[in-house]
Amino acid sequence: MATTPVRLPKAGGRRARRREDVTTPRGSSVRLGANYDPEAFGRLSEAIARTFGTARFLVIQTVIVAAWITINSLAFFTFHWDPYPFILLNLVFSTQAAYAAPLILLAQNRQDGRDHENIERDRQVASRTQADTEFLARELVAVRLALAGMATADDLSASLNKLENSLEQLGERVGRLGPLSPGSPG
């Protein structure tokens, strides 16, 4: 929808301009907020999701948690930064889960997008292959129909044998008639 400026009277004799199309925000020359590359962020989220899903990550996390609980539970350490019930450890787990879930979902959405593109590409290839197969089947039928009326090598051989026999019989008949005399009609 095109926007046409509407002139409104303004105090002091100057006129203000108003846009008729207010469904989209006006462009601003000042951009607030962080700019980031969505593709790079997506690759990072996929790398993190792949890391979270490995046995190595689970083993390292288990070792860290066991060390955390051991250090904060034993009495011979004088400094306990997170005594039982390990509230700080729970906060760390909550923070990790709060970041992990959206990153994993982002990675899954990107994978779904790639899967959708692959499925669409496979569907197009299958469609072209089916069309090519149908074309070749029609061509094969046309060749068979064209060859159905043609004589085969056996047919030609049999016809040549008949012709050869007929020529031999004709030659025998001519031989029985004898030589033609120069004065005879014929």
Give the model's pLDDT for residue 84.
84
Give the model's pLDDT for residue 75.
67
> What one-character DSSP code corresponds to residue 2?
-
Distance CA 65, CA 148 (A): 82
Name the pLDDT band for 55 (thresholds 50, 70, 90): very high
Three-state SS at 15: strand
Which two three-digit tokens encode residue 164? 């050869």
Distance CA 127, CA 134 (A): 11
Strands 15-18 and 6-9: antiparallel
**Which residues, other chains included, contact 159 with Cβ-Cβ below 8 Å and sequence gap of 6+?**
151
Amino acid occupying residue 87: I
Amino acid occupying residue 79: F
Mean pLDDT of 80-99: 90
Give the model's pLDDT for residue 124.
96
Mean pLDDT of 129-156: 89
Which two three-digit tokens encode residue 40? 């790079």
Q: Which residues pair with 16 in a beta bridge?
A: 8
- Of how many residues is the chain composed? 186
CB-based contact 68:86 (threshold 8 Å): yes
